[in-house]
Amino acid sequence: MRPTNEVQEIPVYMFLGFLESGKTTFAKETLLDRGFTEGEPTLLLACEEGIEEYDEDELKENNIFVEYIDEENLNTQYLIDLQDKYKPTRVMIEYNGTWKMEKLFSIRVPKGWTVVQVISFVNAQTFDVYIANMRQMMIEQLSTADMIVFNRCDENTRRGEYRRSIKAVNRRAQIIFENKDGIAEMDDSVDLPYDINQDKIELEDDDFGIFYIDACDNPDRYVGKTIHFRAMVHRPKEYGDKAFVPGRFAMTCCAEDIAFIGFKCYFDAAKHLKDRQWVTVTGEIDKEYYAEFEGDGPVIKAKKVEPAKPAEEEVVYFT
């Protein structure tokens, strides 16, 4: 066998969330599932001590090693020392919800360490409080995640509203709602204010946000349909003279988070349009690859673009 200089990939799983969000409970259940660890050496980096505690002896029996880490020793050399000490084949990081994400992403990690999944945990009963008071930290966690788990859900949990708000800041995230009894369910249902079965969609001003979210999630069911709506013009330089973005400013998770949303629209006379100009668009929906979607997303091939009066409300919502 010839020697190789290839570095073995060591998958890193990151768990995000504030105290009592369910990170530790999920980590314990995952770690003790031998189908996940396969009995191979696993390093768990716990960046905070929550109400739930790890049974280090039990974990060690399963070849899992816990190291508690603070901001001061979250650095390259310390992580390399841990890699040399335990030689793990996988790493799990229970990250402190009050630390900035850039703290972790800015340091050089040991060779082979590769983040393969980021899961953010949210206590549904305290979500509104955290959004109101720790908005930036919460948005950072939600926008980074591959999967978002709302736990402790009950009949009062506004699943549809939360889901649409999350999708506005993180299109690719899988969203799961877990009831108090531990039963998890994916909530992909959206009550549409227009008839999706019609060949032509007449989009009311207030419905643009809901259309945007559903079309992002389900581009295939919109392909071939004609759509008519009022929007504001945005002309990204990279789109050239024959495309623009008709869209709206939308409120995402709270009043301070306003973002412009819309889809690429092909239009031969786009160069004559001006940023923030209001227009009505009639066109056929198609799809193409979007790097930010990490997959296909809707595009509009305009048949007609005409000047229009501004909408009564400049900002739209996802409810």
Average pLDDT, the chain: 86
Give 189's strand partners.
none
pLDDT for 36 equals 75
pLDDT tens digits for 67-120?
Answer: 999 888 899 999 999 999 999 999 999 998 888 888 888 888 899 999 999 999
pLDDT for 4 equals 41
pLDDT for 246 equals 98
pLDDT for 98 equals 87
Within this chain, domains 10-186 and 200-316 share the same CATH topology: no
pLDDT for 190 equals 58
Burial class of residue 105 (count of CB atoms within 10 Å of its CB; 0-12, 13-18, 19+): exposed
Per-residue pLDDT at 1 exceeds 50: no
Return the CATH class of domain 10-186.
Answer: alpha beta
Under 8 Å between Cβ of 162 and 127: yes
Per-residue pLDDT at 309 exceeds 90: yes
| Cβ-proximal residues to 154 (8 Å cutoff; 6+ apart), any chain | 124, 125, 179, 180
pLDDT tens digits for 91-106?
Answer: 999 998 888 888 888 8
pLDDT for 3 equals 39
Mean pLDDT of the 232-246 span: 96
pLDDT for 2 equals 37
Mean pLDDT of the 218-226 span: 94
Return the CATH class of domain 200-316.
Answer: mainly beta
Mean pLDDT of the 34-56 span: 81
pLDDT for 262 equals 94
Could you give the percent of the chain with pLDDT greater than 70?
Answer: 91
Per-residue pLDDT at 140 exceeds 80: yes
pLDDT for 255 equals 47
pLDDT for 77 equals 94
pTM, two decimals, is 0.66
Under 8 Å between Cβ of 196 and 303: no
Write down how long the chain is. Answer: 319
Per-residue pLDDT at 253 exceeds 60: no
pLDDT for 132 equals 81
pLDDT tens digits for 153-171?
Answer: 988 888 877 887 787 778 7
Buried b (16+ CB within 10 A) or exposed e, 146-171: bebbbbbbeeebeebebbbbbbbbbb
Alpha-carbon span 231 to 207, nearest angstrom: 11
Please tell me the least confidently modeled range out of 26-35, 192-201, 270-279. Answer: 26-35
Please tell me the least confidently modeled range out of 155-164, 185-194, 279-288. Answer: 185-194
Please tell me the least confidently modeled range out of 131-135, 159-163, 185-189, 239-243. Answer: 185-189
Per-residue pLDDT at 184 exceeds 80: no
Domain spans of the chain, in order of start = 10-186, 200-316
Please tell me the least confidently modeled range out of 47-51, 101-105, 213-217. Answer: 47-51
